Amino acid sequence: MSQKKSPQLTPVDSRIRIPQHYQRQPVISRLVSRYGVTVNITSAMLTPTENYGWFDLQLQGNSEHICSSLLYLQKLGVDLMQLSIAGSMQHNLSSQPFPSQKLNKREFAPLATSSHTQAYQGYSGQSHRLRLQICILKDYYQIPVISELVSRHGITVNIIAASLPANQQDDGWFDLDLWGRPQQLFSSFNYLEKLKLPLWLDASSMHGHIL
């Protein structure tokens, strides 16, 4: 008996525009956790003061799962501005250029690696929120960092603000809310440490926030 072939793994590139009322929700994180899709953000511009946030995404995974994730975005009201499959443009809904304005960074305290254990002391088994800023070095643009945080460590990642240049010649950064249990948050920090990405921690987010 011949075995049924599984759907081919086909990379899909998509430019999406997220309306402001969805910017406080972990939309991209859900693509990973709900549909098993690997999502790499190749460029981004998101600020709470703008009506829309922009992301260029590369989706990798089971073809059916990718289709389901794109349908999910459409049902939310997220605009799929462009779709390309295997490097060939299949769908183009807008000729608008990717926004190039720069965002003002918030003030975050430098995160000392030796303080991780102390930072998690006193946490219970409940889910907690942790706010941080992460610098995405230009050599790391092809690594799906946020997707790995979700799939490997089981945390929920909400992108609060982002600036990831489309030219991939400069470093970018994300302001992130991480939700998870203490051990999940701790292991996610270990992963980021191994990548040697600069981190800044919002210490005020570490106490009393329960999902």
Q: Tell me the pTM.
A: 0.75
Give one word for 27, left, alpha or beta, with left for phi > 0 and alpha for psi -120 to 50: alpha
Sheet holding 199-202, edge to edge: 88-92, 79-85, 12-19, 52-60, 38-46, 156-164, 172-180, 128-136, 199-202, 109-110
Contacts of 206 (CB under 8 A, 6+ apart): 119, 128, 130
Q: What is the pLDDT along the chain (211 residues), one digit of tens a residue?
A: 445 554 556 689 999 999 888 877 899 999 999 999 999 999 999 998 888 899 999 999 988 999 999 999 999 889 988 888 654 435 444 444 444 444 444 444 444 433 443 443 334 445 788 899 999 998 888 899 999 999 999 999 999 999 999 887 889 999 999 999 999 998 998 898 889 889 898 766 654 443 3
